[in-house]
Amino acid sequence: MTKKSLLPIGNPYYENVPEYMTEVYDWAYVNPRNAGWLDNNWVVRILLFFNDQRLMRAYLNEVPEGARVWQVAHVYGELVRRVARKVGPKGAFLVTDITPVQVEHALAKLAGIDWARAVRADAGDYSPDGEEFDVICSFFLLHEVPEAKKIAVVSNMLRHLAKGKKLVFVDYYNPKPWQPIRYILKVVNHFLEPFAEALWKKEIRDYADDADRYVWRQKTFFAGVYQCVVVEHKE
C-alpha cells in the first residue's frame, strides 16, 4: 500500500527524496507535520512493543566512551542524544539521513553537543571523506528499504569498516510461530511496511559480498521479533 504526499510540488522537504520514501513512507518520515508528532519516546515504545530500551542498550553497549560513531539514519525518540552523550567530548558522533525533516530533527536533538553533527546523505553511497569510525550502526533502517537498497547500505557500511572496528545492525527478524506479535506484524507489514518481511527470510549477512571475510554475531529478542547483529573483520 502506498501513501502519496498531498503537499505541493516544490516543497523543500521533498527535494531529492527517493521515490520509495515519498510513496511508502511519506506518512512516517517525509511529511514534516507527521514527523512532528511521531518523534517522541512513547511512539517508539509502543511501536516496538515496549522493547525499545533493551534494543537501544544492545546498540549502546557496543559504543565505548570516546568512540567515533556513524549512525546511518535518524531514529525517532531519544536515541541519537543518548548515543552522542555516551560517546562524550573525546569522541565524535555523526548521524546521516536521506530526508530533510529527519536531519532537521536530528540537528535539534544534538544542539549544544559540540562533538555531534547531522548530515543529509544516502546510507547506500555516502562516503565520509576519509573519516574512520569505531562503530557504524543501522538502527531499524534495513526493514524500511527495498532489496537493492538493503544491499547498497550493507555494502557501504562494510566498505567503511576498518580493521578492529565494528558494525551494529538492530532491526526486525523472524518471529517464532508461537509469538502472537508475528501475526500483528503480518498485518502491519502488508499495509505499511512492504520491505520488512525480507528480513524474515534472509539474514543480514545475505546482503553482503564476501560475507565470510567477517564475523557475524547475532542476538535475538522477544522470541525472534528483533535482532542485533555485530560485524567485525575475522582478522
**For position 9, what pLDDT does the model report?**
57
78-87: long-range contacts, CB 8 A cutoff, minimum separation 24: 78/41, 78/109, 79/139, 80/106, 80/109, 80/110, 80/116, 80/118, 81/109, 81/110, 81/113, 82/56, 83/59, 83/137, 84/110, 84/113, 84/115, 84/116, 85/113, 86/60, 87/63, 87/115, 87/116
DSSP 8-class letter at 211: G
49-233: in CATH 3.90.1580.10 = no
For residue 129, the model assigns a pLDDT of 82
Query: Which of 81, 79, 94, 86 has the alpha carbon at shortest distance from 127?
Result: 94
DSSP assignment of 23-89 equals HHSIIIII-HHHHHHH-SHHHHHHHTTT-HHHHHHHHHTT--TT-EEEESS--SSSHHHHHHHHH-T
Residues (pLDDT < 70) of the chain are: 1-9
- 87 burial type by CB count under 10 A (0-12 exposed, 13-18 middle, 19+ buried): buried
pLDDT value at residue 172: 98
Q: What is the pTM of this model?
A: 0.94
Neighbours of 68 (CB within 10 A): 19
Closest Cα to residue 31, out of 5, 59, 12, 2? 5
Any idea what DSSP says for residue 8?
P
Can you tell me the distance from the alpha carbon of 4 to that of 24, in angstroms, rounded to the nearest whole number? Answer: 7
